[in-house]
Amino acid sequence: MYRVIPQPAATAQVAALPRRALTAYAEILDVLLMAPWDGSPQHEGNPAGAVRRWAFGDGGAGQIVYLVLEDRREVHLLLVQWWGSDG
């Protein structure tokens, strides 16, 4: 099991998510606790890279970008984006 550590910017970004996105976001956090490497690499040219991303919400309207520190069993949330509507 991994420990998920949000960076301050990511914490603020989560606070700005619309209410309807929060359940999908929470589901991704549950997955990151167990299998963070299942996310897509941030850069396709570096498929084994530790910086990964995961889409969430209806139609992938949101994205989490995170760093996996395998030796510490940590997942650092770097960026949480939402492109969907607030309604």
Rounded to two decimals, the pTM is 0.92
87 located within any domain: no
36 located within any domain: yes
Of 6 and 86, the one with more pLDDT:
6
The pLDDT score that the predictor gives to residue 84 is 79
CA distance 85 to 11: 20
Number of domains composing the chain:
1
- Note the pLDDT tens digit of each residue in 7-41: 999 999 999 999 989 999 999 999 999 999 999 99
Domain CATH number, residue 61: 3.30.2310.20
57 located within any domain: yes
pLDDT at 87 over 80: no
Segments forming the whole domain that contains residue 74: 3-82
SS3 assignment, position 79: strand
| DSSP H or E segment with residue 78 | strand 74-82
Among the residues of 1-87, which ranges form H helices? 8-15, 22-34
